Structure 1
């Protein structure tokens, strides 16, 4: 076995913030203390490593001593918890208008994925893959953001 250490280039305050959100979620759903493989702090680190480096979940889980299935669950849980913190589009635009900004920037990115296999029907009743991008010729999720003129994301 080869031991390895790695550095995560995010502020400790961010890890602690995500850990607090995860702790609140665990209380809300009634998770008993000591029943999870990772503490909220280490789950937050694992999730931020995944966001930062895009590690394969099997490799990510192995690095933190959890199974692939547990890594998937922990990442999905954290994404849900973080997504619940976002303002609605209306709230974000209202805040920008109140701050006096003259305009906002809308931008997006297609993130590759191999885990989305949902099909939908077109207007002509053809079955197509909902997450397939013809432009990129690959599967992916289109994530869009609205930013203030100074580049700070608001939604």
Structure 2
């Protein structure tokens, strides 16, 4: 197996924030042992979310199974979603801004049998639609569920 260095255009603060959420969750659940420590799990999840690296490649790079990689990413997404503002709170924040940017994007997904509702004719691929509200600097204020 060959490995290569890669860069993720995110700050160390983002990595530390997610790692702290994962560490707290593990302490609450009294999890005794995990294959990756919270920092490595956060790096795995952020690499998948930011770069779109496939789970099979990440699993090989982190020396874990694909199912474990999927479970770690899913756990990180759930933790980040729990800390996010709801739409009412986001709208209160938006009212204080000079202007906000509303946009939508199609996030590609792997096609599984019978996923016709997830097919986008415009993009000619399967994916989920996410609506995003950002401030003038491009910082995320709110994102809809996929």
Q: TM-score by structure 2 length? A: 0.85
Say if 1:24 and 1:135 are closer, same or farther in 2 by CA, change over 3 A. Answer: same
| Unaligned segments of structure 1, at least 5 residues | 120-128
Aligned position for 1:81: 79
Counterpart position of 1:122: none
TM-score by length of 1: 0.81
Pair member with larger Rg: 1
Alpha-carbon distance in structure 1 between the residues aligned to 2:125 and 2:53: 19
2:29 paired with 1:29: yes
**CA–CA distance in 1 between the matches of 2:5 and 2:130?**
32
CA RMSD of aligned residues (A): 2.0
Structure 1 pair 140–116 and aligned structure 2 pair: CA distance change class (3 A):
farther
Q: Which has the higher helix share?
A: 2
Q: Does 1:105 align with 2:92?
A: no
- Does the 8 A contact of 2:3 with 2:61 survive in 1? no
3-state SS of paired residue (2:141): coil
Distance 1:116-1:106 versus aligned 2 partners, 3 A rule: farther
Alpha-carbon deviation of 1:131?
A: 1.4
The answer (yes or no) to whether the contact 1:117–1:130 under 8 Å persists in 2 is: no
How many residues are matched? 142
